Structure 1
Amino acid sequence: MTSPENLLVCSTAGEVFAINKTDGTRVWNSKLSGVGYGVGALFVFDNKVYVGMNGHLIALNLADGAVIWNNPLSTMWWSEVSVLVTSTNSNSNASSYKPQGSVVLVGSFGKVCGIDPELGGTLWKNELKGAGYELPCLMLDSSAPDAVLVGCGRRLYKINIYNGQAIWKHKLSKAIFAPSCVTMATQQSSLQAAFTYTGFNNNPVAQQHRRHEREKNSGD
């Protein structure tokens, strides 16, 4: 049996695969039902693989790829999904509600949700007022463990991970015809990225661009 730390989890064509990094053998693959043939945004945390694809968030068992739960992310439609998982701060006084363990943060279709990692239920939803319907970019900041930074629709938001309320928001640009996606970086995030991988793995903005191109070409 391949140990979890030796697994490389991949996604393409509506499936998720676990590959042994040492010898390249396939350990398991999971065909995701009802989500089409997209490329999943992946986040491995503890014993689960969280997959965001076409308006759904799916939790798989890291050991065998079995589906644990599937959240269809109501009102996010058939859109690309950004995924992050964070441990909650039990000492925080920011909210009267404190989920235990971790929170799965999901961004899609101009919205951000907090998801229960065990049962898959939606804990809260922030509609990102004024951000439109683009794919949000999500970033955690170690200096503020109770919050997530969100970029969407030429705007920035800092959101409480316990209750989904906006701590602050900032309009970056008044441009009308320019692209409305937002990228973000801090010194810490840039150093982490330099030693890890490109952001396509958990914030697949490139997929959104391809979808827009397909929609544009289909109208010709």
Structure 2
Amino acid sequence: MEFTRDDILICAVKGYVYAIHKKDGTILWEKYIAIRAAVISVYVSDNDRVIAAAVGATHSIDLMTGEIIWSNNMTGFGYSEVSIVATPSGTVKPLQLLEDEVDKLYLPPHYETVTQDQQIIIACSKGGALAIDFNTGDTLWQYDCPGGGYNIPVAIIEPPNQKLGRQTQLAYVGSGRCVYCLDARTGYLVWSVSLSWNVLGSGYMTLASPWSSKLAAETNTAFSQNPSAQAANKKRTKDKNNDHKK
């Protein structure tokens, strides 16, 4: 069956990642990556890669064929659910107007795409964040959130902001009661803040910013809006505690 990247809908359930045709639901390919009980997070890049993560591992899968390109087993992160975000493969900026175009200021600006030197995946699990090279699957850096515990962190990546004096892309990671601001390229801790000292109530954090909310405005699924994996982890912890009481 012939199809293009725009025909594909990616679904993940019961340990498998599926590519199905948007027109009639035909299964184009399927790939087993995790145990059936796993919650699989997925992300599709603009260079035809499916990033799928579950039970402490992250995989890159060819969008068109279902072939696994690489796997990163996220050493030290156990077998919990994984949340994933990625730096963009390119950014857009307005082109500078030429002198003879000054009278066209009322027109919408033209844009050019600026390719990023290196695209990075940030996979979060078990109170920490792991940066993975998008092309090779190699680990670039790891940050264990102090006070993050065994929570599943959530992350937001934002572009450089000259107004705020930010020359590099930053990753904001929330885990437990703390938020950590990291340099997305190096893992360097820019700042951190503890938001609550309350020991009662839920410790699952969600994050949002005007930029990230604008990108998510087309009702895309994300961990911060739909924390299904966190809910699964909460149930697992409750069952574990009940087992200890027996």
Same fold (TM over 0.5): yes
189-198 or 71-80, larger mean C-alpha shift:
189-198
CA distance in 2, matches of 1:25, 1:218: 43
CA distance in 1, matches of 2:62, 2:183: 28
Cα distance, 1:217 vs. partner? Answer: 4.8
Q: Is structure 2 residue 91 aligned with structure 1 residue 103?
A: no
Cα distance, 1:127 vs. partner? Answer: 0.8
2:97 is matched with which residue?
none
Q: Is structure 2 residue 42 aligned with structure 1 residue 42?
A: yes
Matches within 5 A, 1:77-116: 77-87=78-88, 100-116=117-133
Q: Is the 8 A contact 1:110 1:127 kept in 2?
A: yes
Cα distance, 1:178 vs. partner? Answer: 2.5
Cα distance, 1:202 vs. partner? Answer: 8.5
1:138 is matched with which residue?
155
Structure 1 residues 202 and 65 mapped into 2: Cα distance closer, same or farther (>3 Å)?
A: farther
Matched residue of 1:105: which SS? strand
Matched residue of 2:216: which SS? helix
CA distance in 2, matches of 1:115, 1:202: 24
Q: Which runs of 5+ in 2 are unaligned?
A: 92-115
Which whole-Å deviations, capped at 9, do the CAs of 1:119-156 have from their partners, x for residues lacking one? 21100001112221210011122446511111101100
Q: Is the 8 A contact 1:84 1:202 kept in 2?
A: no
Matches within 5 A, 1:51-66: 51-66=52-67
The equivalent position to 2:237 in structure 1, one of 204, 212, 217, is 212
2:76 is matched with which residue?
75
Matched residue of 1:205: which SS? helix
TM value normalised by structure 2: 0.78
Matched residue of 1:10: which SS? strand
The equivalent position to 2:184 in structure 1, one of 161, 164, 176, is 161
Cα distance, 1:6 vs. partner? Answer: 1.6
Structure 1 residues 213 and 64 mapped into 2: Cα distance closer, same or farther (>3 Å)?
A: farther
Which whole-Å deviations, capped at 9, do the CAs of 1:23-78 have from their partners, x for residues lacking one? 2111100012xx32212100111221111100000111111111111111011001
Q: Is the 8 A contact 1:82 1:202 kept in 2?
A: no
Q: Is the 8 A contact 1:41 1:202 kept in 2?
A: no
Structure 1 residues 202 and 140 mapped into 2: Cα distance closer, same or farther (>3 Å)?
A: farther
- The structure that has the greater radius of gyration is 2
Q: Which runs of 5+ in 1 are unaligned?
A: 91-98
Q: Is the 8 A contact 1:52 1:81 kept in 2?
A: yes
51-60 or 133-142, larger mean C-alpha shift:
133-142
193-202 or 154-163, larger mean C-alpha shift:
193-202
CA distance in 1, matches of 2:212, 2:117: 26
Structure 1 residues 111 and 58 mapped into 2: Cα distance closer, same or farther (>3 Å)?
A: same
Q: Which residue identity is paired with 1:139? A: I
TM value normalised by structure 1: 0.86
Structure 1 residues 120 and 147 mapped into 2: Cα distance closer, same or farther (>3 Å)?
A: same
Higher relative contact order (CA 8 A, sep 6+): 1
The equivalent position to 1:190 in structure 2, one of 213, 219, 228, is 213
Matched residue of 1:80: which SS? coil
